[in-house]
Every structure is written in structure tokens, then in C-alpha cells.
């Protein structure tokens, strides 16, 4: 379960500053205000988005939905005083949050993960009218894969995830997908599907090994770094399975994966501290033995440095166009 306090610790402090959108604001003002508000707080959502990562984009959206249901009560703002809030304001105001804040938080997190290359999921704000006499929206919520047969509705105003109360009229405002460029040398071979699967399996085995050994702890920032990397490779594999390797070569870059990433994975094992041995069922390679040292409950300096270098390498390997 994601802790509200843990999320708030990463965000800029809430100052209780309130800003009314505009005196006598109309629907157009509110729509534009929501989109501008998301752009304004991109960096704040970047601080927390990885805390919500699940096995895929749908589970990630479910995690955000559950978090808001558990921590932010629903509150209807007066028509004459419509406000937009920062992420910390959404979480801190005791009165709760309205549908604008819910949709902003959900799309803020999901859009951040798109920018980081974890997902490439189309998103939109869906403005909805439930009245036959006007198309002016009375409600807004987040939609994944808008305009397709695979839509996922994320609306914490309703009791359940992907629950649907069909509007009479809708208007979607899609969030622009970030273009993430990656360069490579044309002389290097393109990774095969089997290579990508092998590297994904190496990452999974490394993570499980370190978790079993006590080097990593579940839910820690370092465990999340592994989850991010695994998600990126898995998404590349899924894309390759659909479009073929040549179809995604521009997205993953022409990288000599076997040399670059293989060395990164193999090197990581050499720096792993020895907390007293792995579980009897572990059949991985024997790690080098060092002189006896005082036991440490955390991760060694070498390990932290390696993760920093590894994170940069993974960023350049896996980020997508």
C-alpha cells in the first residue's frame, strides 16, 4: 500500500495558498486551466510517479485510483469558486478534492511515466455532460486509450475502477505524448527479441536475488528502479512481438546490448554485499568473497555508485522515441 505521508515527503510543501481560476469562469476557462495546471506541475508529478508503478499501465492506473480513494475524499467545489491545485494541495486539503483534482492527479502521474519512457499509453481528460439540454460538461475524468475499444476509465468519484456512468455528451482533451529521442551508431547490431528477453530475465533474476539476500527491500526506491527497467524492457518486447524488431529499431536505438547491458548486469553482481549467504534454493553464480566487514543494514557505497551509473545506462538504453 502506498503511504500518503511517503508521497507528501517527496513533494513541495503545501502552503495553503488558494487560487481561484478566474472570476465568473466559464467552461472554456476551466478546461484550459486544467491543461495548464498539468504542465505547471510536471516536475512535481515526476517526483512521485514511480511510486505507483504496477505490472503494467492498467495496474498502475489502478494503484493511483486506489490511492486517491483511500486518501482523498470527494468534495464538490462551489460553482462560483472553482480552483486548481498542486499535487500536495490535492492530498493535504481536509475538505477533499473534486473531479478536476482527481483527473489532474491521475493524468499527472501517468503522463510523467510516459515522459520517463516507462509506458507509452495515450491519455485524455474526458469532459462529460449528463444532461440532454446542454453539452456543457458537469464532470471530468481520466481515460486511458481514449477513442479505442480498450478504453480504461479512471474516475475516483465512482466506487470502482473502470466503472462507467455513460454521459450524454463527451469532449476529450488528449495529452500530448512526449517525444523521447535516442541516438545510436548505425554500425552496431540491433538487439534481437531473444536478446531483449534474456536481458529482461537477467534483470528479474538480479532483483529477486538481491531481495532474497536482503540487499534490496520491497518497496524501496532501489527496488522501484529495477521495476522501472523491467517494465521498459517488457514493453519493448511487447512492441517487438507486434511490429517486429525492425519496426521498433528507432524506438530502442541501435545499441550493442550484449556488450553494454550484459557487462552492466554482470558487474552489478560483483559489487553486491554479502549479508551472510543466499537462500538454499538460489542457484545463481557464486559472488566473490571479501574480507570480513562489519555487517551493514543498508546498501554499500559501491552499490549506490553502481546504481547511479546503471540508472544512467538503463535510461539511455531503454528510453523510447
pLDDT at position 25: 55
Of 44-48, 88-92, 179-183, the least confident: 179-183
The 10s digit of each residue's pLDDT in 114-134 is 998 889 899 999 999 999 999
pLDDT value at 252 more than 90: no
Cα separation, 170 vs 162, in Å, equals 17
Strand partners, 127: 140, 171
pLDDT value at 302 more than 60: no
pLDDT value at 320 more than 60: no
Give the pLDDT mean for 194-205.
74
pLDDT value at 136 more than 60: yes
pLDDT value at 78 more than 50: yes
pLDDT value at 304 more than 90: no
Q: How confident is the model at residue 269 (pLDDT cuts 50, 70, 90)?
A: very low
pLDDT at position 201: 77
pLDDT value at 277 more than 60: no
pLDDT value at 22 more than 90: no
**What is the DSSP code (8-state) at residue 288?**
P
Give the torsion sign (CA, 175, 181, 182, 185): positive
Closest CA to 233 of 208, 265, 258, 199: 199
pLDDT at position 79: 73
Who's near 268: CB < 8 A, 6+ residues apart? 206, 306, 310
pLDDT value at 309 more than 60: no
Please provide the average confidence, as pLDDT, over all residues in the chain.
74
Cα separation, 106 vs 270, in Å, equals 40
Cα separation, 32 vs 50, in Å, equals 27
**Is pLDDT larger for residue 196 or for residue 318?**
196
Cα separation, 303 vs 259, in Å, equals 21
pLDDT value at 180 more than 60: no
Neighbours of 278 (CB within 10 A): 17
**Is pLDDT larger for residue 243 or for residue 137?**
137
pLDDT value at 284 more than 80: no
Cα separation, 12 vs 45, in Å, equals 10
pLDDT at position 47: 94
Give the pLDDT mean for 179-205.
56
Q: How confident is the model at residue 212 (pLDDT cuts 50, 70, 90)?
A: confident
pLDDT at position 272: 44
Q: What separation in angstroms does the CA of 313 have from each of 49, 246, 260? A: 20, 22, 8
Helix extents (H) in the chain: 4-10, 27-40, 42-48, 57-71, 87-92, 99-115, 193-213, 221-243, 249-252, 257-271, 301-318
pLDDT at position 226: 79
The gap from C-alpha 99 to its chain's centroid, in whole angstroms, comes to 21
Q: How confident is the model at residue 182 (pLDDT cuts 50, 70, 90)?
A: very low
User: What percentage of the chain carries pLDDT values higher than 90?
Assistant: 36
Find out whether 174 and 199 touch, Cβ atoms under 8 Å.
Answer: no
pLDDT value at 248 more than 70: no
Give the pLDDT mean for 13-25.
61
Surface-to-core class of residue 39, CB atoms within 10 Å of its CB (0-12 exposed, 13-18 middle, 19+ buried): exposed
Q: How confident is the model at residue 220 (pLDDT cuts 50, 70, 90)?
A: confident
Surface-to-core class of residue 297, CB atoms within 10 Å of its CB (0-12 exposed, 13-18 middle, 19+ buried): exposed
Find out whether 261 and 313 touch, Cβ atoms under 8 Å.
Answer: yes
The 10s digit of each residue's pLDDT in 221-235 is 777 877 887 777 777
pTM for this entry: 0.59
Angle 257-271/301-318 helices, nearest 10 degrees?
160
Closest CA to 255 of 206, 319, 197: 319
Amino acid at each position: 500500500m502506498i503511504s500518503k505521508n511517503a508521497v507528501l515527503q517527496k513533494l513541495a510543501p503545501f502552503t495553503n495558498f488558494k487560487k481561484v481560476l478566474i472570476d465568473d469562469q466559464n467552461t472554456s476557462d476551466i478546461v484550459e486551466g486544467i491543461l495548464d495546471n498539468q504542465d505547471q506541475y510536471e516536475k512535481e508529478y515526476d517526483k512521485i510517479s514511480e511510486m505507483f508503478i504496477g505490472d503494467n499501465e492498467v495496474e498502475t492506473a489502478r494503484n493511483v485510483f486506489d490511492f486517491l480513494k483511500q486518501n482523498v475524499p470527494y468534495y464538490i467545489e462551489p460553482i462560483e469558486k472553482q480552483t486548481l491545485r498542486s499535487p500536495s494541495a490535492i492530498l493535504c486539503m481536509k475538505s477533499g478534492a473534486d473531479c478536476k483534482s482527481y483527473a489532474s492527479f491521475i493524468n499527472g502521474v501517468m503522463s510523467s511515466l510516459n515522459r520517463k519512457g516507462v509506458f507509452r499509453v495515450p491519455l485524455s481528460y474526458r469532459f462529460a455532460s449528463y444532461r440532454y439540454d446542454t453539452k456543457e460538461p458537469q464532470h471530468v475524468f481520466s481515460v486511458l486509450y481514449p477513442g479505442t475499444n480498450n478504453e480504461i476509465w479512471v474516475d475516483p468519484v465512482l466506487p470502482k475502477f473502470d466503472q462507467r456512468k455513460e454521459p450524454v455528451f463527451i469532449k476529450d482533451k488528449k495529452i500530448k505524448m512526449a517525444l523521447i529521442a535516442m541516438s545510436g551508431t548505425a554500425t552496431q547490431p540491433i538487439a534481437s527479441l531473444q536478446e531483449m528477453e534474456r536481458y529482461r530475465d537477467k534483470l528479474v533474476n538480479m532483483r529477486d536475488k538481491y531481495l532474497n539476500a536482503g540487499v534490496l527491500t520491497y518497496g524501496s526506491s532501489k527496488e522501484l528502479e529495477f521495476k522501472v527497467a523491467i517494465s521498459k524492457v517488457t514493453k519493448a518486447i511487447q512492441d517487438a512481438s507486434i511490429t517486429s524488431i525492425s519496426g521498433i529499431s528507432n524506438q530502442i536505438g541501435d545499441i550493442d546490448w550484449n556488450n553494454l547491458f550484459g557487462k552492466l548486469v554482470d558487474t552489478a553482481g560483483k559489487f553486491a554485499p554479502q549479508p551472510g549467504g543466499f537462500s538454499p534454493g538460489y542457484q545463481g553464480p557464486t559472488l566473490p568473497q571479501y574480507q570480513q566487514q562489519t555487517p551493514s543494514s543498508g546498501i554499500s557505497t559501491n552499490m549506490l555508485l553502481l546504481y547511479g551509473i546503471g540508472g544512467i545506462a538503463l535510461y539511455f538504453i531503454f528510453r523510447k522515441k
